[in-house]
Amino acid sequence: MIVLLALRCSYELNQQNTCFLLTQLTWVDWLMHHNVLLPEHYEWAERLQATDLFGEDAPFVLDNGLVYFSRYHNMELAVAEFVIAGQTRKPAHHWLPAELLDGQSEIVDGLFQSTSSEADKLDEQLNTEIDWQYRAVLNSLSHQFSVITGGPGTGKTTTVIKLLSSLVQYYLEQPTLIQKQIGQFTIKLAAPTGKAALRLTESMLSGIDKLNISDDIRAYIPTEASTIHRLLKSRGRNDFYYNSNNKLPIDVLVLDEASMVDLSLMSKLMSALPSRCQLVLIGDKEQLASVEAGNLLAEICAPLQSLGIERQNALQPVTELKKSYRFDSNGEIGLLAKAVNKGVGKAVEHLLIENCLGTDDANRQRYLESGSVLTWLDPNSHSIKLIVERVVRHQVAILDSISEITESNELNVVKALFKKLYELQVLSCVRQSIYGVEEFNKLVKERLSQLGRVAWQDEHYAGRPILVTENAYHLGLYNGDIGIQIPDPVSDQLVTYFIDGKGDMIKLFNQRLPTHESVYAMTVHKSQGSEFDHTILIMPGDDVGVKLLGRELIYTAITRAKTRFTIFGDKDRTLRAVNNHTVRQSGLSKLLYGL
């Protein structure tokens, strides 16, 4: 029975689950085929806990009927203890006024009034709709641990800037003696990947410029985000310079794209935070969970599902931003995202059929030239070559623009090329498949070669977009960064350009590049934290099991689109994926809320 437990624990970890129900052992088919006799169910827990393999300093733990490897149980306990302690510490810092706990703050009121346009103010007077950004700021000021969750375009970054502005203003209003006791008030921004950190840096820079914030307050608000590994100073092998015995010297940490953080990394991050530090998690609880075990953000946000609007609009540590400023709630992309998120297959089917591209040449030509806001390409009627042609036309436009680059206009042209590149991005659910990333990238290069725009045998060539697949801190590049290969305007040597979060240009010889690949298409997982004008999702064919696909994957792909979205995939397989809601087994919500 112990062998079976070990096998099952290993299997569940491979499925991104941290534990499993003890009674699930009866689901192992080969037990019956090999006549393996087990004790009666009611004896299992007692017999297991009587062995030396369960309990303190043992390899396994049995808790509330759930079986864990001890390491993962300890991680869940550590995260739960941190979250519970942070939710009960009110307000977020001892020097903040108690009036916050009553939902009152002149500083927050003034900040929202000063950053609202006249149209917004008039709208507020005519509309009694709840301002969820305002509620999120108050809630986060009132708790040492808080979460701000919301879909794309709901203003998460804007809310963070207003939260940090409020915190800094409260700090600056403290008497000199209190400020000396507090010491240097340090705020840090972090994200799980280099790409997400870059995106947060860009959002913070543009967001601060849009808001009316004084220079004194700006001086305290960071605009550059780092990866978690860089913040903690990774020493390799999952070991960090900052840890439970050597705490980070910070007062506030804002962690973006929190849904991507796995249990192990989150527990290490929390253990490295000093007792005074406020932690604010930002992310979309409906997006894809972490690649490794755990589904932390969704579990921490679990109570929202059972709370009515009135209760959500009260003092609590978790706030969901509900109004999207990117998607019209009645627009086709917004409707599709909502239908997929809720698993409403009939609504998804209606939107697909209503926006199905016709098979005549005129419709295909129109799609190649511009396309509608929402388009469904039925693989029974359209070939993948239609999407290849769409991407090739986009790539040819980039190639034509490269000739404009000179030494004097280098930065401006490179920025324009990146802007053009981000107008279109193909996403695939998997890497290896007839409709996977690797095959699509090959098809695009093959077509460009047929047109005489690239040499098939060349690894590096002008116009090639690349995706960095490892962190290279010494180069200022991170896993997920995108570059374009362009001839240097002075030497004419082919180099790779990147634009960092501050808008500065990075130029590298191709020999110095870290591990990378072409990125005419990328996986949905790699796209998290990014957005593109037109996003095309290629669903897998019959060679990929539908069980590997879920609504979270499709929702994440849809919400990468800013203005247009195309889905290429069989309708029935797509609908089965929409009905497949990913549920990971964990005991965290039980520890936090008794759920």
pLDDT 10s digits, 379-423 = 999 999 999 999 999 999 999 999 899 999 999 999 999 999 999
Cα–Cα distances in angstroms (integers) from residue 530 to residues 21, 156, 320, 322, 485, in the given order: 37, 14, 20, 20, 20
Calculate what percentage of the chain has a pLDDT beyond 70: 93
- Exposure class string for 440-466: b at 16+ Cβ within 10 A, else e: bbebbbebbeeeebbeeeeeebbbbbb
Q: Is 156 within any annotated ligand binding site?
A: yes
Q: Is 419 within any annotated ligand binding site?
A: no
Maximal CA-CA distance, the chain: 80
CA 223 centroid distance within chain: 19
Q: Is the bond leading into 91 cis (omega within 30 degrees of zero)?
A: yes
CATH for 332-579 (3.30.930.10, 3.40.50.300, 2.120.10.30, 3.40.50.920) = 3.40.50.300
pLDDT at 545: 66
Could you state, in order of their start, the residue ranges of all structural domains in the chain?
1-69, 94-326, 332-579
The mean pLDDT of 476-485, rounded to a whole number, is 87
- 255-288 pLDDT, tens digit per residue, is 999 998 999 999 999 999 999 999 999 999 988 8
User: Which of 25-34, 477-486, 571-580 is least confident?
Assistant: 25-34
Full-model pTM? 0.85
Q: Is residue 127 predicted with pLDDT exceeding 60?
A: no
pLDDT at 65: 84
Q: Is 154 within any annotated ligand binding site?
A: yes
- Exposure class string for 12-40: b at 16+ Cβ within 10 A, else e: bbeebbbbbebeebeebeeeeeeeeeeee
Q: Is 343 within any annotated ligand binding site?
A: no
Q: Do domains 94-326 and 332-579 have the same CATH topology?
A: yes
Highest mean pLDDT range out of 87-91, 303-307, 492-496? 492-496
Q: Is 51 within any annotated ligand binding site?
A: no
Are 278 and 93 within 8 A, CB to CB? yes
Distance CA(59)–CA(347), nearest Å, equals 48
As a CATH number, domain 94-326 is: 3.40.50.300
| Residue 294 exposure: Cα atoms within 13 Å on the Cβ side | 23
Calculate what percentage of the chain has a pLDDT beyond 90: 49
Q: For the chain, give the mean pLDDT.
A: 87
pLDDT at 595: 62
Strands (E), 207-314: 226-227, 234-236, 239-240, 252-255, 278-283
**Residue with token string 């869940």:** 76
